[in-house]
Amino acid sequence: MYKTAVYPGSFDPITYGHLDLIKRSLCIFDRIVVAVAANRKKPYLFSQEERVKIIKKILKVEEGIDEERVDVVGLKGLLVKYVESIDSKVIIRGLRAVSDFEYELQLATTNRMLNPDIETIFMMTAEKYSFLSSTIVKEISRLGGDVSGMVHPIVADELLKIHSRGEDNENIM
94 binds ligand ADP (CB under 6 A): yes
The only residue of 10, 48, 88, 141 in contact with ligand ADP, by rule CB under 6 A: 10
- Please choose, out of 17-25, 75-83, 140-148, 154-162, the segment that lies near ligand ADP by the rule CB under 6 A: 17-25
* Cα gap 50→48, rounded to integer Å: 5
Q: How far is the CB of 157 from ligand ADP (least distance, A)?
A: 19
Q: How far is the CB of 93 from ligand ADP (least distance, A)?
A: 3
What residue is closest to ligand ADP based on CB? 17
Determine the length of the chain: 173
Give whichever of 37 and 143 is closer to ligand ADP, judged by the CB atom: 37
Do the beta carbons of residue 33 and residue 7 sit within 8 Å? yes
Do the beta carbons of residue 94 and residue 122 sit within 8 Å? yes
Cis amide prior to 13 (ω within 30 degrees): yes
* Cα gap 120→109, rounded to integer Å: 9
75: helix, strand or coil: coil
Binding site for ligand ADP (CB under 6 A): 9-11, 15, 17-18, 21, 37, 93-94, 96, 100, 125, 129, 132-134
